[in-house]
Amino acid sequence: MSSDDASSFPIGASVSGTTASGDPFGGVVYSYDPRLHLCVLRAPGDIQNSHHVHVVRTKGAKVMHRVDATGDAARITEETLPAIDRGRQERRFEASVKAAQFVAGAFVVVVVVVVVLSKRIEINSARCLVPQ
């Protein structure tokens, strides 16, 4: 089935197929732009409650399988956006900042230790060179 028309990618439908270059794609149609021949697909992620988002160029693509949305999924519109959990977003941001600060702090500690050790080595080698 050719996929150069909007009827191949109705929002909310589950589609799978191959691109013009032969790469497989699959997921639920989140958005479709017929002018640019681009489709945004949402697929289950590797981690629980996460999703992968794929942007697929549909020009020359072949849709092998399509299941149209039913029930609530059929009423999805382009204006519908997923809810954002602000608390989770803040916690993830804070965790990222702490991780970056830890890595930066660990780097500074390593540099200081290396400098101190190199000074000790210089002092010890200078003692060895001094005749007694």
Domain locations in the chain as residue ranges = 6-82, 83-132
- List the structure tokens of 1: 């089935």
Q: What is the pLDDT of residues 46-85, one digit of tens each?
A: 888 788 888 999 888 888 877 776 655 555 554 555 677 8
The listed range with the strongest mean pLDDT (3-17, 26-40, 68-82) is: 26-40
Sort residue 86 into left (φ over 0), alpha (ψ -120 to 50) or beta: alpha
Q: Which whole number is the average pLDDT over 94-118?
A: 71
- List the structure tokens of 70: 């039913």
Contact between 10 and 68 under an 8 Å Cβ cutoff? The reply is yes
Q: Which CATH number fits domain 6-82: 2.30.30, 3.30.70, 2.40.160, 2.40.128?
A: 2.30.30
Give this prediction's pTM.
0.50
- Rounded Cα gap, residues 25 and 11, in angstroms: 16
The 3-state DSSP class for residue 19 equals coil
Q: Is the pLDDT of residue 115 over 80?
A: no
